[in-house]
Chain A
Amino acid sequence: MEQFAFYLFSVLTIGLFLVTVLSNNVLYAMTSLAAGMVIISGFFFILGADFLGVVQLIVYVGAVMALYSFGMMFFDATREIKEKNTNAYLVFFLGGMIALLLVVMFSVLIMGEGIVAMYPTPEGANNPQAVGLVLFTKYLVPFEVAAVMLLVAMIAGIILAGKKMDDSLTTKDENHEEEMTFSLKDVR
């Protein structure tokens, strides 16, 4: 059963992400990316990381995809994307070389001997309890730093895509200067 689920999920994710990368339509790419995220949470459930799977569903499929579809309202989503690709062979060569590098990096983990768990899973606790125990003791400082980082990102998002879309804080500088000089002339 686990094998069947694993192979089904891996084929589906690889296919969906290939659609994301190769498609020329933004809408197809975004929907296939969202479906791939859902199936990746299935990987986490197989691996026994229940809490991580739920967080993946909520954050990625809920928040990130909603943000992307919100951003899609500003761009023309139905238009086909025209791209001029200069050298496709070079791209595939570079991708292959990076994949080879990845194989070497991962084979260190597979071949590696004597890897001992630093923070072993606590006995008699289910996954969310164990995650809470480790997250709020050993990883408390990174957790707080991540909270501050999310706050900074939220403020930056509000400022960049603010409520007054016509003159955002970052693009209105030129008009503003003109108004200033104009008012100075008026005074004189």
Chain B
Amino acid sequence: MIGLSHYLVVSGILFSIGVVGVLRRKNLLMLFFATEIMLNAANIAFAAVSSYYGDLSGQMFAFFIIAVAASEVAVGLGLLIVLYKKQGTLDLDNLAAMKG
């Protein structure tokens, strides 16, 4: 029988994959992908807790996380396009050129 802990372990593994991606990547688009992975891991944990405790709040929070992720992608992708037009690359190290 699959318990709550199984889902939480999978969610933790996925979140760690996302964290490793955020720490390891230098390309901004890849950082966005890793952020999406982390948000989805949190969604799995919320849905599992909501299902096993018979409480719908977890699913509600998962909905709001999806809304936040969608708006984050809309704004972030616009910013990425502007950055790419200005600098011609998406490398994170180029952002250090901003410092005085």
- A and B: partners? yes
User: Which residues of A are at the interface with B, using a C-beta cutoff of 8 A?
Assistant: 2-3, 6, 10, 13-14, 17-18, 20-21, 26, 29-30, 33, 36-37, 40, 43-44, 47-49, 51-52, 55-56, 59-60, 63-64, 67-68, 70-71, 74-75, 81, 83-85, 88, 91-92, 94-96, 98-99, 102-103, 106, 109-110, 115, 117-121, 130-131, 134-135, 138-139, 142, 146, 149-150, 152-154, 156-157, 159-161, 168, 170-171
Once the chains bind, are A156 and B78 in contact (CB under 8 Å)? yes
Are the CB atoms of B19 and A98 closer together than 8 Å? yes
What class of interface size applies to chain B in its complex with A?
35 or more
Q: Which residue of A lies closest to B40 (CB)?
A: A40
With A13-B10, A95-B19, A102-B16 given, is the CB distance from A56 to B43 under 8 Å? yes
Where chain B touches its partner, the secondary structure class is: helix
Kindly list the 8 A-B residue pairs having the minimum CB-CB distance in the complex, ordered from nearest.
A160-B78, A153-B71, A117-B55, A21-B21, A99-B16, A157-B74, A83-B26, A95-B20
* Distance A40 CA – B7 CA, assembled complex (angstroms): 11
Distance in Å: Cβ of B79 to nearest Cβ of chain A: 6
Residues of B within 8 A of A168 (CB): 82, 85
In the bound assembly, the distance between CA atoms of A110 and B29 in angstroms comes to: 35
The answer to whether A71 and B37 touch across the interface, beta carbons within 8 angstroms, is: no
CB distance from B85 to the nearest CB of A (A): 6
Q: List 9 A-B contacts (CB under 8 A).
A: A10-B6, A14-B17, A33-B37, A36-B37, A37-B40, A59-B66, A85-B24, A99-B12, A161-B77
Judge if B75 is at the interface, Cβ distance under 8 Å: yes
- Which chain B residue shows the least CB distance to A53? B47
Report yes or no: A91 in contact with B23, Cβ–Cβ below 8 A: yes
Contact B78 A159 (CB under 8 A): yes
